[in-house]
Structure 1
Amino acid sequence: MISGRTIAKNVSVMMASQLTTWALSFVLAIFLPRYLGADLTGVVAIATSIWLMGQVFISFGMDTHLTKSVARDPTLTVDLMLTSLLIRSLLFVLTSGVVALYSWIMGYDATANWVLVIEGICFLFLAYSGAFSAVLVGLERMEFISIANIASKVILTGGSLLLIMLDAGLYLVISVNIIAAIVLCVILLWAIQRLYPLRLQFRFAGISTMFAQSWVYLISAFAMTVYQQIDKLFIAALVDTRTVGWYSTAMNLFGTMMFLPVVFGTVIFPSMARSYASGDSKLNLIAQRSFDLMFMLSVPVGLGLVVIGQPFVDLLYGPEFYQSGIILMLLGVVLIFTYLNTILGQLLISVDRTGSWNIVMFVAIAVTLPLDLWLVPWTHATYQNGALGGVLGFLITECGMVVTAIFLLPRNTLGWSNVRSTLLTLCAGVLMMATSWWLRTDWMLLSIIVAAITYVGAVLALRIIPRQEMEIIRHGIMSILGRLRRN
């Protein structure tokens, strides 16, 4: 079993990386929509959603399979990775044909089609990098993933901002994504080459085995991606591209807040998978602490977005994106449930209940479709913002998934201590909102400072975090700060 020190090291490495890439993503999320405007932002968002769903089939669930297999037997690294790359290349060709057919059916114009082509090239390299990252996660060498992510994001952000200043136009600006994806691939492949020298020898006999062992994760990934992306396509079909631009702008800001559960889930997943496979009794303790931590992190971030969402969007984007502020405020509530679903989903996969989680995801999709068909037109007619319907549907399904996931966990995985921590954390969050709400419009920065002080003070006063875990958190923060200073 991985030691607590190794977990802490991996968390600090990934956190340092994610803090850096988060800052860069946030900068790009500010300037790109302002440059493109709501309509073109919507076009890019639609193309990205289409390819995100296409990438599910290109990856075919192999990322999770690679991570688990490499974590259990690192000697299989090269054979598994090369087989996966071959499959991804073949599936990309098939997926490209499906995307072209969809574009023809929907009657997309020349601009949308060129954006689809550029995004498609980018997603090919992202599919390759997904295999490389999955291998490195299985090997628990997150430092290489951190380096690659930072380098890629620096190129993406810096190149995009430069082209925006030069007024280079839509196509050149989004083409920087391709360069960034290539850099990501090269660095990750170099890292794997250092650990396990590559040999260009494909095991064609392993292709059928890879398909057989990965398809269950394909179902999970497909369900998750469709669930996350279908709203944009519904809004585009039922309302217009501008509304998709409002929605995607808010969602991009929302997405930058997701680095915390992604980092923690990525680092802790190999440990949970091994603990379950070996029958280790520490699995419940890992699950309980992970749940408490995710909820404790989600409340200030989510409720903080409720408080400052509208003035924040007004400051960044101006009146053209006013409707994005309302969307972001509502997404703040969604974020709390999304944080929990991220860690609960990882936990269910690690205890081999992927099939049950897949069913939950498909039920969520089945519920999302009629909700969007009803809520998007209704909110468009009532509030002149059909994107609110997509967010409301998102909120309903996320809440239902949290409740269902908890019931699907093995018996006694979570306990009454988690109930206590949840209730006390909610009290701290409500107090935070009460003290900061009145300052949000004219004194937004002061509102954020007051909210942070109030929440931390309430958490300490209510003794939500045990003393032992406070020491772990303090050590983790000092490690992150130390790495940031060295970088």
Structure 2
Amino acid sequence: MKLPVIKGFDEDAFNKYLKNAGWLMFGKALSLIVNLLIARYLGPILFGDLSFGLSLVAILAAVGALGLDTFIIREIIQEPAKRDEILGTSLWLRLAANALLIPIAVGVYLISHQLTPNPGEPLTLLVGLLALASFFKSFNVIDAYFQSQVQSKYVVQVQNIGLIITSVVKIVIITLNLPLIYIVFAYVLDGFILAAGLIIIYQKRGLNIFNWHFNKERARFLLKKSSPLILSAVMVTIYMKIDIVMLKSIGSKAVGIYSAAQNLSEAWYFIPIAIVTSVFPALLNARKTDLDRYQKRLGNLYDLLIYISLPVALFISFFASDIIHIIYRGKYDGAGPMLSIHIWSGIFVFLGTASSQFLVAEGYTKISFYRTAAGALINIGLNFWLIPKYAGVGASIATLIACFVSTFYLLLIRKTRGQGIMMLKSLFLVTAFQKIFKR
């Protein structure tokens, strides 16, 4: 039976948005397998060093993104004739920001290394190279363009090609028993291939990156609008990654064991991102044409994410220790209790990812910042308290509480309380039972 057609939006269009989510599956699965192989190969100490470097750079790289992705999509949809100006301005802003972040990342590491009680081996080169890999993400503005055209499949194809190449490189490195630094170079190669691939696919679609140009007024406008999202992205990354950085004070082995659990817990976080990214243009269109339909689609989106995340959390929490032992072949057995706690954070990450798009669509960027700031501050405070007592288990508890607070912060604000209640209904399966009993 066909769904009723809305003016300017129909079933075929919505299916088109949803189909784009499927393109990420292969790439993410391959990435997970390779990361597990790397963890097995390196062992807890070296894997802890790599995880620490990736987390430190990720926190700083959140600044380099400048919070522009969603605004690039919105601006191109609203002003398609200004495409080259929007993309050119965004690219130059990101290139400048990410270039500055390379020496800043090294400087921050050197300071933290001096202040850490158990610093371990110097990781200066590792941090610098990972920051260089992050520099190439400046070209993700091209990804934002394809998202605005609901053509994410082209970007995912490029990502998968690059991922296959670098996965083969990493497997060769493991097979040849090469040092950790070679794996770090593979991350740099991954960033370079993705940037080059995005440029090539953009050109092959009949477009020309050399037509892009920088506009000062556009830059001021974009930075003004996105500044709350810059801070918000930093806060999101802090409360997702700060636990690893703070665990380094206990030692690289503690970081490695916790990271083994965290990687499995977060391996499926691409699912809400893929779904939400794919349906975001549909939500914007529905908001323009039918507000009731818009709210209904948001509610259905929350329900869908709960249906996916809740069963997985239940299953993994019961069998976490067995899963860790089987996957890592006994090298990370202490990670089981951490995984059984950390996996529940995914439920709130799923809901938070979806509600973030609601905040952007409604222009509530300050609220987006406030809620992520609350989560980040709570996570940092809890980590200071729990990590010295319980190490990785304490970090897992801190992350879970922080994710819950950040997601349901919307209940505290009058104009977003309706979304918070909608998410609560989905979480406690209220809407699911309502649908069942209506039949």
Q: Deviations over 1:315-367 (max 9, x none)?
A: 12133311112211112222222211111222222221121121111111221
In 2, are the aligned partners of 1:29 and 1:249 still within 8 Å (CA)?
A: no
Q: Does 1:300 align with 2:307?
A: no
Q: Does 1:232 align with 2:237?
A: no
For residue 5 of structure 1, what is the aligned residue in structure 2?
Answer: 12
Unaligned regions of 5+ residues in structure 2, if any?
1-7, 114-118
Q: Does 1:126 align with 2:131?
A: no
Q: Does 1:36 align with 2:46?
A: no
In structure 2, the residue corresponding to 1:199 is in which secondary structure?
helix
Q: Deviations over 1:224-250 (max 9, x none)?
A: 11121111111112x111111111121
Task: Please give the alpha-carbon distance, in whole angstroms, between the structure 2 residues aligned to 1:337 and 1:51.
Answer: 24
* AA partner of residue 397 (structure 1): A
In structure 1, the residue corresponding to 2:248 is in which secondary structure?
helix
- How far apart are residue 13 of structure 1 and its match? 3.0
For residue 103 of structure 2, what is the aligned residue in structure 1?
Answer: 97
For residue 400 of structure 1, what is the aligned residue in structure 2?
Answer: 405
Task: Please give the alpha-carbon distance, in whole angstroms, between the structure 2 residues aligned to 1:373 and 1:203.
Answer: 44
> Against the structure 1 CA distance between its residues 362 and 190, is the aligned structure 2 distance closer, same or farther, given a 3 Å change threshold?
same
The residue correspondences of 1:41-440 to structure 2 (distance < 5 A) are: 41-107=47-113, 111-128=122-139, 130-193=140-203, 194-200=205-211, 202-205=213-216, 206-237=218-249, 239-276=250-287, 280-379=291-390, 386-406=391-411, 408=413, 410=416, 419=425, 422-423=428-429
- How far apart are residue 44 of structure 1 and its match? 0.9
> Against the structure 1 CA distance between its residues 84 and 344, is the aligned structure 2 distance closer, same or farther, given a 3 Å change threshold?
same
* AA partner of residue 214 (structure 1): S
In 1, are the aligned partners of 2:324 and 2:333 still within 8 Å (CA)?
A: yes
RMSD: 2.6
Task: Please give the alpha-carbon distance, in whole angstroms, between the structure 1 residues aligned to 2:84 and 2:173.
Answer: 38
> Against the structure 1 CA distance between its residues 275 and 157, is the aligned structure 2 distance closer, same or farther, given a 3 Å change threshold?
same
**TM-score, structure 2 as length reference:** 0.89
- How far apart are residue 208 of structure 1 and its match? 2.7
In 2, are the aligned partners of 1:103 and 1:113 still within 8 Å (CA)?
A: yes
- How far apart are residue 407 of structure 1 and its match? 5.5
**TM-score, structure 1 as length reference:** 0.80
* AA partner of residue 18 (structure 2): V
In structure 1, the residue corresponding to 2:135 is in which secondary structure?
helix
* AA partner of residue 61 (structure 1): G
* AA partner of residue 185 (structure 1): A
- How far apart are residue 395 of structure 1 and its match? 1.2
Task: Please give the alpha-carbon distance, in whole angstroms, between the structure 1 residues aligned to 2:264 and 2:131.
Answer: 23
- How far apart are residue 51 of structure 1 and its match? 1.2
In 1, are the aligned partners of 2:387 and 2:395 still within 8 Å (CA)?
A: yes
* AA partner of residue 8 (structure 1): N
> Against the structure 1 CA distance between its residues 270 and 114, is the aligned structure 2 distance closer, same or farther, given a 3 Å change threshold?
same
Task: Please give the alpha-carbon distance, in whole angstroms, between the structure 1 residues aligned to 2:385 and 2:272.
Answer: 31
Q: How many residues align?
A: 424
- How far apart are residue 412 of structure 1 and its match? 5.0
In 1, are the aligned partners of 2:63 and 2:231 still within 8 Å (CA)?
A: no
In structure 1, the residue corresponding to 2:224 is in which secondary structure?
helix
> Against the structure 1 CA distance between its residues 162 and 370, is the aligned structure 2 distance closer, same or farther, given a 3 Å change threshold?
same
For residue 440 of structure 1, what is the aligned residue in structure 2?
Answer: none
In 2, are the aligned partners of 1:40 and 1:245 still within 8 Å (CA)?
A: yes
- How far apart are residue 73 of structure 1 and its match? 2.2
